Amino acid sequence: MKPRYLVALLPPEPVFSQTRALKQEVHQLTGSRNAVRLPPHITLIPPLLQSDEFEAACTTALSAFAATQASFQVGLDGFAWFGDRTLFIHVSEAAALKQFHAALMAWCSKHLPEVPPETRAFTPHLTLATRDLPPAQVPALREQFAARSYAATFMVDNLTLFRHDGQQWQARATFELDQFSS
């Protein structure tokens, strides 16, 4: 069976621990295991099945891409939903992130053609729970998170390649952005 890969941004501390705690809370409230199977992240390239050889090609391409990109700021503000199945934290300062994603996808089209082009608009978000939320618990969860607030900002200075090992996602490589680009 081909391994599954994804590329994501991980927030640094303290945002990482804060958002991980929110994911744990949703897990405890609803039993949603998808909430805790992956660390808090913003997906750049969604999961895709590829051969084992893809990892080396992807590592080379992402390393070269990261060297061309400057750090940028991301803001998180409030909770939102995709339908009744996905609870997430809204990315409030998304312009730089959208530009970064567009640059990544353009890079992949030239240097990593195994990554398919996007079929829908990039909507940056940090997922707290998805897919396995029990439908009966969604109204109460929706009400609870509508009454809460969360806001944070952080600098993005790297991106991470993950590989699914059949049980959980494992970080395989982290690529530092060029701290001196402007």
Could you give all domains of the chain from N- to C-terminal order, each with its CATH number?
Answer: 4-176 (3.90.1140.10)
Q: Give the span between the Cα atoms of 116 and 95, in whole angstroms.
A: 23
Q: What confidence tier does 179 reach under pLDDT thresholds 50, 70, 90? A: low
User: Quick check: 180 pLDDT over 80?
Assistant: no
CA dihedral for 49, 1, 37, 88, sign (positive or negative): positive
φ, ψ for residue 135 (rounded to 5)? Answer: -50, -35
Report the pLDDT value the prediction gives residue 167, as an integer from 0 to 100. Answer: 83
HEC letters along the chain: CCCEEEEEECCCCCHHHHHHHHHHHHHHHHCCCHHHCCCCCEEEEEEEECCCHHHHHHHHHHHHHHCCCECEEEEEEEEEEECCCEEEEEECCCHHHHHHHHHHHHHHHHHCCCCCCCCCCCCCEEEEEECCCCHHHHHHHHHHHHCCCCEEEEEECEEEEEEECCCCEEEEEEEECECCCC
Report the pLDDT value the prediction gives residue 1, as an integer from 0 to 100. Answer: 80
Q: What confidence tier does 159 reach under pLDDT thresholds 50, 70, 90? A: very high
Tell me how far the alpha carbon of residue 82 is from its chain's centroid: 15
Tens of pLDDT, residues 7-65: 999 999 999 999 999 999 999 999 888 778 889 999 999 999 999 899 999 999 999 99
Work out the percent of the chain whose per-residue pLDDT is above 90: 80
Tens of pLDDT, residues 73-126: 999 999 999 998 899 999 998 899 999 999 999 999 999 999 999 888 899 999
Report the pLDDT value the prediction gives residue 88, as an integer from 0 to 100. Answer: 96
When pLDDT is averaged across residues 122-149 and rounded to a whole number, the result is 93
When pLDDT is averaged across residues 63-70 and rounded to a whole number, the result is 96
